[in-house]
Chains A and B, each alone.
Chain A
């Protein structure tokens, strides 16, 4: 097997927070607590989960926007988690990011032309002024924005157009991997569809790998090849899209899928409503972190933490439930089964 473009091994990121009166006590937030996955060249891996599960922190560790606590981040065979800022610089060209909020992620004092030129100047990519101009124009074509937009300021654009500018900026350095951190979550339905289609087209044209961080499962299903589901700093399930959406192996994935409202008034679905809230990552539950909300939890779940184990065909799940138990894995009870057939 060839070397994956990105390999993350047992990544941990802990934050120290002050607690108690006047910050007398210190506590550790285990935002990411041992996460491993790979992303192949040209592949999309979606990282899904609810707020606070650590999915964005994983993205920021890979981008080295924050330092990792432990574990490895390997880009194309080279470890980047411990590199100095100087040594990291040439590698930054290869991993870019598109953020959620198109209003705060563009410098309001730069015109679009300069927003796109800056990364290319930083990495010395353009050989001449004419080359730079040509590259900028090509970027605008790629994200389907008119050329005359180059002379305008970010505030003159709508949210969807700004997100196109953000994507063009990410593409400016000809990266191998783009981390999309909730890149379409702030957009309206009709605009979201435009950007989702654009990202898919660009990926195919340019052979990009995407790490698509999102809480929106319907969008993820449209975008991705594989899915990793996170809960409280851990990956609980990882697998090819079809398997995750058609036959989830982890009760959390199953509940997450069943909680998504479906735009079909006639649909009758079995809905699993989880009780309670996500526990605090400062003091995660013993054993399986999901056991406090899991409808199928039994004694072993409270004591022993399940490992992420392969089931079949590149599908991994961290759950003690034996396959076929609890009706979880029989297709007839899968949250999507009724609809997929009906």
Chain B
């Protein structure tokens, strides 16, 4: 049994001008200790997927349907009280903007202790000791002094380290990281990615990494799910996906990414463009969601939505036209 199993997740939002199908039929599994990257551009539903897993989507206007099974229990059927025990304890999350996700009027120590005491019975002194230990784990120097400081006294990279310390303080089995380094500078991003890799081996949590950066995916993830307009379009082990992307959207995405050092090899090359724009999620799209921008689209693509099919071992893609390897029956 997979650690986390998401089946036909649909998160829709009621808006004044129609239902927004932010996530429209996403399924995936997460194994113990594995790192799964969810990639896609803004509005593809990757963050809503993450928020749906922890039931952080406000209902209404949102509505989550499908099944999210964590160790066999469907989280969508749990009462709110039980769900609160799951959050932070079994599944925790770090967000993109560490300044807005930390409470600006509470000290770092108080915020760490709060999480610890929600889930474990600890004396003040034990909680402090544990908080200091967590700050050391995430590489914050002078941990004891930092406990008394407020978020604004820390740099962006330090704040994100504190967020990670809070998220990991109860030793969750799943860590959801939603664009954890997007707000950081590259040299600080390198530090945080290094820290996440290091902690993963130490703590052994499975990670769902949400990002738009294909470079980060290549460096951190084991498996990748590509989303477009609320649906999964492709899923594969990282090396396999980068070697032979099957879905035209994934192929387009790879072509559009400028690669450092490429001009040294092939001189002046043009970036590949994906023409057009993402379709509105407020109208029902009967066929393939990418058909309006796909150079290969046929009438079949526009009329019938392709299912996520196994095209090669461990490699699934939702495309009528992507070839299937003989071995992947």
Contact = CB atoms under 8 A, between A and B. Distances in A.
Interface of A: 50-51, 158, 160-161, 188-194, 196-197, 200, 215, 217-219, 221-222, 241-242, 245-246, 255-267, 271, 273-274, 277-278, 336, 339-340
B41 interface: yes
Contact of A221 (B185, B194, B258, B274): B258
Contacts, number: 132
A241 B278 CA distance: 34
A221 B260 contact: yes
Nearest to A246: B264
Contact of A245 (B242, B264, B274, B277): B264
B264 A242 contact: yes
A263 B274 contact: no
B41 A245 contact: no
Contacts of A190: 41, 252-253, 256, 273-274
Q: 9 nearest interchain CB pairs?
A: A261-B215, A50-B185, A193-B256, A188-B41, A193-B271, A259-B190, A190-B274, A263-B214, A218-B258
A131 to B, nearest CB: 32
B186 A50 contact: yes
B151 to A, nearest CB: 15
Size category of the B interface is 35 or more
Nearest to A157: B277
8 contacts: A190-B253, A191-B277, A193-B255, A218-B259, A221-B261, A262-B260, A336-B261, A336-B264
B253 A262 contact: no
B256 A189 contact: yes
Given A259-B186, A262-B259, A277-B155, 17 more contacts: A189-B214, A189-B256, A193-B271, A215-B185, A217-B260, A218-B257, A218-B260, A222-B262, A260-B260, A261-B190, A263-B215, A263-B218, A263-B259, A264-B242, A271-B190, A277-B158, A340-B264
B6 interface: no
Nearest to B190: A259
A277 B265 contact: no
Given A158-B277, A245-B263, A262-B218, A196 B186 contact: no
A267 B220 CA distance: 12
Contact of A50 (B187, B252, B258, B263): B187
A188 B272 contact: no
Contacts of B189: 259, 261
